[in-house]
Chain A
Amino acid sequence: QVQLVQSGAEVKKPGASVKVSCKASGYTFTSYDINWVRQATGQGLEWMGWMNPNNDNTGYAQKFQGRVTMTRNTSISTAYMELSSLRSEDTAVYYCARAWNWRFDPWGQGTLVTVSS
């Protein structure tokens, strides 16, 4: 079945970077965009951007421009999201999701990133 499996929880200090992975299985990885969404505790969903695994094109929400980088390794069907210059407000669960026909389906299980000194 189509599945996205993300890397484990991370604890980072302010100013550091974090790189979260998202491994796809059950479909052709290069045929669908991967999007990243985050959710702070008790808050709503916040879209961060998208990446086309076929041609490496990306698009980022303005809020994250300059701090986020989305990449992929097609040989292992894995997408990555790296966020730099971390601050406490970046503490959240980060999700990857496959995008197709105007929807996100499925979603990964989420990765908790905690930013704390």
Chain B
Amino acid sequence: SYELTQPPSVSVSPGQTASITCSGDKLGDKYACWYQQKPGQSPVLVIYQDSKRPSGIPERFSGSNSGNTATLTISGTQAMDEADYYCQAWDSSLVVFGGGTKLTIL
């Protein structure tokens, strides 16, 4: 079965750039998206189709996807960005999530 691998945790200082990776076999051939989830809340879409931002998502969120790795980049991180982040992709008609990455703002 298809798997997506994320680092369990990433730490960054306020104002710095955070990069969260998601790895899977030939992931670049599929569309990847990213969700932000804060404690006690439902996931919120922050990036879809590799690099597109839904309306209402700040410009500091960006994404890329090539080869075997998709990357979520948060520029100028703020305290409010501290959350769990999950990547997602489709493998045929099945949906796969990465294990999630806890982003800590130091």
Contact = CB atoms under 8 A, between A and B. Distances in A.
Partners in one complex: yes
B90 A102 contact: yes
A59 B48 CA distance: 22
B31 interface: yes
Nearest to B94: A61
Contact of B99 (A44, A104, A107): A44
Given A45-B86, A46-B97, A50-B95, A103 B42 contact: no
Given A102-B33, A102-B90, A105-B54, A47 B45 contact: no
A18 to B, nearest CB: 19
A95 B43 contact: yes
A108 B41 CA distance: 10
A44 B100 contact: yes
A101 interface: yes
Interface residues of A, number: 22
Contacts of A104: 33, 35, 43, 45, 88
A35 interface: yes
A45 B37 CA distance: 10
A71 interface: no
Contacts of A35: 95
Interface of B: 1, 31, 33, 35, 37, 42-45, 48-49, 54, 86, 88, 90, 93-100
Given A44-B100, A46-B97, 13 more contacts: A44-B98, A45-B43, A45-B86, A47-B94, A47-B95, A97-B43, A102-B31, A102-B48, A102-B90, A105-B48, A106-B42, A107-B44, A110-B42
7 contacts: A44-B86, A45-B35, A47-B95, A102-B31, A102-B48, A103-B45, A104-B88
